[in-house]
Structure 1
């Protein structure tokens, strides 16, 4: 998935080769946060496969603690035997679920990207609040519609950027306030993951930009490594569309797909801070993605899947692993006590500008076969772009695009696309 450089002034299951996100390990191990008494929240889950399985596990934990009751699930493919409580009603779709289920407090949507808008709007027409997996929707226009529906119906919406629940973000905010790494000069996000042929064959929407005219935008920055982009934006204080001054995209693909699998997104915030996201699904091996804060007197590196923060200054190096808040629990606390949402819908506006730039950019530029190789056999084979690790490091460190670095597979002329920010 990739397109050449562009400038703007889903949920899907984790690949078995990728590191286990911190949330997966924490769900079963961490106790439920304190919550006021009262009846358990009535919850429905839409999408029980793919990333929906993680929500099932988390809801099982919360139900055991008496916090929620999983009333119903919906999926055209029935849940695996024993994966939902015997008392949970099963429906083929959200429409059927809503027609037969009343009194819901929370609806969780963990379905393919192109279904987020219609399902989210249907959920917001009820009296329930909404937990919507990332990316929120597949276009800025749908994002506006969702925001209007939430505001008009008085509903709360949490977006599933789980990394934003990390307590490391508070520590980062404090170290910036204290001047620990000096003046913040830039932020970069680096992601090196592996996706094999089977990954792109697992569903009809995998790696697609559109399906029958419906936007999907399943690219490296909008889905598998969307947390890298969202986390970098949050650290930079860029939450809404008004927080972005300009945005450039340079998108490429080695795989035979429509979307990008190797990309650079360069952003400048309204405050003038540069953010560069250098991402690929064509690495030699998967490593933990990270966000780097470049300061005048040091650096801080946040490995967001591990909640691990490393700080290096002239005084030395320190490292700490933090806990994180569960976004479902946070949404329930918001309903019960008014606690602020960690990842509210409106705060995804800056991320949605990135997605819109990618959505409206020209088709990703194919990387010439001379500059990548296949490792593995059959559907287990994955593309590896030559020198991609060095390319990502240079792009992130220099806030440069691949074409600006003169990489042979990036072409001799910039493939820049600019989305005007109004």
Structure 2
């Protein structure tokens, strides 16, 4: 049997990462390349790579779908996912769609229904859900090694330059041309942190977690670049997530699971897990990760296999994102923020925000429940 044919919609941004991965899998003999498309005209370098893989650069995704690919990777802005994913599924393709899959439940439900109607698989690109560290962490929780889990949290301390919000018309927006975008720090760059916590807490589609949020911005955008989110669902461990794109000193994000007998810290970008059990030395483990496109291909071959992140499992996440879109975003006053001009370009930071984020997660508190932060709380 010939390897399946894959097509890519969106070659910029994270789409470039998908292109590299497709190139790797084609080279290994696991895929054939049908082609790709993007709104931007392709440069000679991209055209050369496409031709080298035996593919075609299509003028639009409708034309691409007429080439009948077996698998379509959708790496476009979130507000364009619904139409593209539904069209690909209706054309008979399986789909890998980048995160966030949607920012409103109606769009997610439409894509989920389209996958069911077409009898096709739809995987969402929450890459860290393919990590063996996640399975190990679940093992620690379910096996009782951590004791009763009292809290799950996640931190995120990144620095994003002004150019980050100038990269596309939808960046930093809640709506664009009537469509929901909801491009906040919690909804997009730290979507993995939110999804990881919801997954570990076992929050499902039927759960209705109570949510509290404190959202802040340091620039003229419509969404938060700094925020704290607290979630509580009956019978589930409480969740606290605190993040910023205005760190003075960026740090890798992590998920923290705290129990009565110990804790575990998962650096989900690098699949490193640190386990600290009472009365024992801390142990650091390094785990492998399953590529989500390969995971999708495996599930296509074997109907008994389950996906790492089927689209229906992301419903709690999209519900949180939709709720966040209705919450107020407060401006951090000039006296509490700083300007930098480093190798990434001009950017903002908030003094001491990294320590406040660490404490919010460690103590399961909102920013306003910590010590007063003069000038911005």
Q: Structure 2 CA distance, aligned partners of 1:378 and 1:341?
A: 39
The answer for the alignment partner of 2:110 in structure 1 is 145
Q: Which runs of 5+ in 1 are unaligned?
A: 1-37, 412-422
Distance, in Å, in 2 between the alignment partners of 1:389 and 1:378 is 20
In the TM superposition, what are the counterparts of 1:283-322 in structure 2 within 5 Å? 283-313=247-277, 314-322=279-287
1:47 to 10, 14, 39: 10
For 2:356, which of 383, 388, 391 is the aligned residue? 391
Deviation at 1:97? 1.5
RMSD over equivalenced CA pairs, Å: 1.6
What are the Cα deviations for residues 263-303 of structure 1, in whole angstroms up to 9, with x where unaligned? Answer: 01111133231011101000013221000001111110000
Partner residue in 2 for 1:90:
57
Partner of 2:233: 269
Q: Does 1:401 align with 2:366?
A: yes
Residues 312-342 of structure 1: CA deviation (Å, up to 9, x unaligned): 1221110011001010011011110121100
Match of 1:349 in 2: 315
Contact 2:333 2:376 in 1 (8 A): no
The alpha-carbon deviation at position 378 of structure 1 amounts to 10
Is the CA contact (8 Å cut-off) linking 1:160 and 1:343 kept in structure 2? yes
Please give the alpha-carbon distance, in whole angstroms, between the structure 2 residues aligned to 1:287 and 1:329: 30
Whether contact under 8 Å (2:249, 2:354) holds in the other structure is no
2:366 and 2:36 map into 1 onto residues whose CA distance is 44
Distance (Å, rounded) in 2 between the aligned partners of 1:383 and 1:286: 12
Pick which of 288-297 and 87-96 moved more: 87-96
Give 1:222's match in structure 2, choosing from 175, 183, 187.
187
Per the alignment, in what secondary structure is the counterpart of residue 116 of structure 1?
A: helix
Could you say which residue in structure 2 is the equivalent of 1:236?
201
Structure 2 residue 331 is matched with structure 1 residue 366: yes
Q: Is the 8 A contact 1:290 1:304 kept in 2?
A: yes
Looking at structure 2, the residues matched to 323 and 409 of structure 1 have their Cα atoms a distance apart, in angstroms, of: 44
Q: Give the whole-Å Cα distance in 2 for the aligned partners of 1:65 and 1:79.
A: 25
CA distance in 1, matches of 2:236, 2:65: 46
Higher relative contact order (CA 8 A, sep 6+): 1
Paired residue for 1:30?
A: none
Question: Are the counterparts in 1 of residues 5 and 70 from structure 2 also a CA contact under 8 Å?
Answer: yes
Report the counterpart of residue 250 of structure 1 in structure 2: 214
Tell me, yes or no, if structure 1 residue 193 matches structure 2 residue 155. Answer: no
TM superposition shift of 1:410? 4.6
| 250-259 or 398-407, which deviates more | 398-407
Encode CA deviations 1:58-87: one digit per residue, 9 max, x unaligned.
111110111111102011213441332432
TM-score, scaled to structure 1: 0.85
What does the per-residue CA deviation read over 1:339-379, in whole Å, with 9 as the maximum and x for residues that have no partner?
110000011011111101112223x1111111111111698
Q: Structure 2: where are the runs of 5+ without partners? A: none
Q: Pick one of 124, 132, 138 that aligns with 1:159.
A: 124
SS at match of 1:323: coil
- 1:59 is matched with which residue? 22
TM-score computed with the length of structure 2 as normaliser: 0.94
Task: Count residues in correspondence.
Answer: 370
Contact 2:201 2:236 in 1 (8 A): no
